């Protein structure tokens, strides 16, 4: 059952001073490669395309059509595609010059570390079905974007798009490095921190005082070479742990891609250094660069499990015990999986991991059986859209969008069918926060990108999603996934990256039995 509020939450939207145009730069090898990236862009964006070379006539015509269609749906096209003039020379410097002139808030490019389609046993090298230049231009675009952000101090958000991703399934389904879901967290002292990945690594904003309206940020979290994705997980004590991929060039011309981990123990204070966890195929950089993006969860005892998709398209994991000792990478085997994993903590305190199958529409679950051996469960009765699975507030459960209908849903092990969470509006995963109190009852809050990209929140009695979700439009657009968190005093806040306005935060109003929010305010002092 779905219930929808006709009332918009909050009053008039507060306009942040100094709103900038929402400029999106698309950086690719040639015009044909820009078509799917332009197709994904939402209304309101100002689009500038930069190509390494002019490409074929057919590709230029296809891009012209895509740009015309973008203009029809409400985008502004900033002139004809910019051509760098072929290959050779310092393409990073040339791209940086273009980006300085464009001054984008977001950047779309290709995958710097694409997945292989076969393996040349004779030569011992992976085989790809796309030109090597696609990965090269993506790496150069990332380098130029990092340099621009370092110059300006303004966050520049980057999306790297997987080759041959189906744009009909939405932007989240096309990302090589997924955007974080639950990126707004309450620290041990009660203050909230927002973590977001950018071209120059992670940036954060944090409250000056618990439940206060003044924030500090954006502040860089040191970490050279971080790729533009992030996983944020709280441990049993409430400390946020950050997981990412770090990409560094080798002296022999290759690249190393490794899983890294950092922790924030005190709000506003420096995080721990990024600790390298390596990767399951780190012995061969050609294989190791394809490592999937990490997901993680803690069991009730405080042991940390980190999972990734490995070169062979199965799952590998490492575990850190409560005394800080890490195991080596271990291999789960079983069904070949896509780069789309979600780890959850179960009602019994253990850890399980879900993954989309690579060669079918199935979702597969791994759980530790008695004796500690991992068991594969191929029976979950649903198919999920790529990039939309996320942990649910209920232990052991997950959220996802149905592959065919796009409707958000929840599922827990043992259920005969998924539980619908509303209509098919919006895109991307659903974030969640638990412990929201109304009239003396505990509720779970859901937040998603809804109709037209607007933030929408919904709630249901904690542990009972089947009772129905009442969705409210919060009257502010979001790119990426909006987030929500409950402070230690029980106050609820929601946050979004608003086009041209940076990070905005709205707090729940102090009204008994109400789920109304105050005006959106910029996260600054």
CA 191 to CA 266: how far, in whole Å? 10
Kind of pairing between the strands at 46-51 and 23-28: parallel
Give me the domains of the chain, ranges plus CATH numbers.
1-20+403-525 (no CATH), 23-172 (3.40.50)
Strands (E) across 235-362 are located at 240-249, 255-263, 275-278, 295-298, 304-309, 315-320, 330-331, 337-345, 351-357
CA distances from 53 to 109, 113, 356 (A): 15, 21, 36
7: its two tokens: 């009332």
What pLDDT is recorded for position 307?
98
Beta-carbon contacts of 271 under 8 Å, excluding residues fewer than 6 positions away, are: 221, 222, 242, 262, 263, 264
CA 486 to CA 436: how far, in whole Å? 7
For the chain, residues with pLDDT lower than 50 are 1-17
What pLDDT is recorded for position 512?
63
Q: Give the gyration radius of the chain's Cα atoms.
A: 22
23: its two tokens: 């400029």
Burial of 306 by CB count in 10 Å (0-12 exposed, 13-18 middle, 19+ buried)?
buried
Task: Answer whether 131's CB lies under 8 Å from 163's CB.
Answer: no
Residue 91 φ then ψ, to 5°: -70, -30
Task: Answer whether 254's CB lies under 8 Å from 282's CB.
Answer: no
Task: Answer whether 156's CB lies under 8 Å from 107's CB.
Answer: yes
Bridge partners, residue 215, by sequence: 207
What pLDDT is recorded for position 292?
97
Burial of 177 by CB count in 10 Å (0-12 exposed, 13-18 middle, 19+ buried)?
buried
316: its two tokens: 């590998």
What pLDDT is recorded for position 13?
33
Helix ranges restricted to H, 121-175: 132-152
Task: Answer whether 355's CB lies under 8 Å from 338's CB.
Answer: yes
CA 397 to CA 346: how far, in whole Å? 8
What pLDDT is recorded for position 86?
60
What pLDDT is recorded for position 440?
85
CA 428 to CA 440: how far, in whole Å? 32
CA distances from 83 to 14, 50, 55, 60 (A): 39, 6, 10, 11
Find, among 178, 168, 110, the residue nearest to 139 by Cα: 110
Please state, as a whole number, how many other Cβ atoms lie within 10 Å of the Cβ of residue 62. Answer: 17
Task: Answer whether 344's CB lies under 8 Å from 397's CB.
Answer: yes
CA 402 to CA 381: how far, in whole Å? 11
CA 165 to CA 101: how far, in whole Å? 30
What pLDDT is recorded for position 260?
98
What pLDDT is recorded for position 136?
95
CA distances from 393 to 117, 302, 483 (A): 37, 18, 13
CA 135 to CA 357: how far, in whole Å? 25
Find, among 6, 202, 223, 24, the residue nearest to 107 by Cα: 24
CA 359 to CA 383: how far, in whole Å? 12
Task: Answer whether 312's CB lies under 8 Å from 287's CB.
Answer: no
What pLDDT is recorded for position 132?
85
Residues 99-131 pLDDT 10s: 999 999 999 999 999 999 999 888 888 999 888
Cis peptide before 218 (omega within 30 of 0): yes
What pLDDT is recorded for position 510?
78
């Amino acid at each position: 059952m779905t219930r929808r509020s006709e009332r918009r939450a909050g009053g008039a939207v507060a306009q942040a001073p100094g709103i900038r145009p929402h400029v999106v730069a698309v950086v690719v090898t040639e015009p044909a490669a820009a078509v799917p990236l332009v197709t994904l862009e939402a209304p309101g964006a100002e689009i500038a395309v930069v190509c390494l070379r002019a490409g074929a006539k057919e590709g230029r015509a296809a891009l012209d059509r895509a740009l015309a269609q973008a203009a029809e749906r409400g985008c502004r096209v900033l002139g004809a595609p910019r051509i760098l003039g072929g290959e050779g020379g310092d393409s990073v410097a040339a791209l940086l010059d273009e980006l300085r002139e464009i001054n984008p808030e977001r950047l779309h490019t290709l995958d710097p570390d694409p997945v292989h389609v076969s393996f040349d046993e004779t030569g011992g090298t992976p085989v790809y079905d796309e030109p090597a230049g696609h990965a090269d231009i993506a790496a150069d675009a990332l380098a130029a974007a990092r340099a621009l952000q370092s110059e300006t101090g303004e966050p520049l958000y980057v999306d790297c798009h997987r080759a041959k991703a189906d744009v009909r399934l939405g932007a989240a389904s096309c990302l090589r490095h997924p955007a974080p879901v639950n990126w707004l967290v309450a620290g041990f002292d009660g203050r909230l921190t927002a973590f977001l990945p950018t071209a120059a690594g992670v940036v954060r904003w944090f409250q000056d005082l618990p439940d206060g309206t003044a924030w500090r940020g954006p502040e860089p979290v040191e970490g050279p070479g971080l790729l533009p994705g992030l996983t944020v997980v709280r441990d049993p004590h409430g400390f946020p742990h950050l997981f990412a991929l770090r990409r560094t060039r080798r002296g022999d011309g290759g690249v190393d891609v490794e899983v890294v981990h950092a922790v924030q123990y005190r709000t506003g204070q420096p995080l721990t250094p990024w600790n390298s966890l390596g990767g399951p195929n780190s012995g061969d950089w050609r294989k190791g660069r394809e490592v999937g993006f990490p997901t993680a969860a803690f069991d009730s005892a405080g042991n940390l499990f980190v999972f990734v998709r490995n070169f062979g398209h199965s799952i590998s994991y490492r575990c850190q015990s409560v005394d800080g000792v890490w195991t080596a990478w271990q291999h789960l085997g079983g069904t070949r999986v896509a780069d789309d994993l979600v780890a959850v903590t179960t009602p019994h305190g253990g850890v399980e991991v879900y993954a989309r199958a690579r060669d079918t529409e199935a979702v597969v679950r791994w759980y530790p059986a008695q004796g500690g051996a991992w068991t594969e469960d191929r029976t979950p009765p649903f198919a999920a859209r790529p990039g939309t699975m996320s942990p649910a507030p209920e232990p052991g459960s997950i959220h996802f969008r149905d592959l065919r209908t796009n409707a958000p849903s929840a599922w827990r092990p043992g259920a005969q069918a998924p539980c619908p969470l509303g209509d098919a509006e919006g895109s991307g995963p659903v974030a969640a926060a638990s412990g929201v109190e109304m009239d003396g009852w505990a509720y779970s809050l859901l937040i998603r990108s809804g109709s037209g990209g607007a933030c929408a929140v919904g709630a249901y009695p904690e542990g009972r999603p089947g009772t129905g979700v009442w969705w409210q439009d919060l009257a502010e657009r979001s790119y990426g996934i909006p987030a929500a968190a409950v402070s230690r005093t029980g106050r609820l806040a929601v946050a979004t990256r608003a086009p041209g306005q940076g990070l905005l935060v709205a707090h729940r109003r102090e009204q008994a039995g109400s789920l109304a929010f105050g005006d959106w305010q910029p996260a600054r002092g």
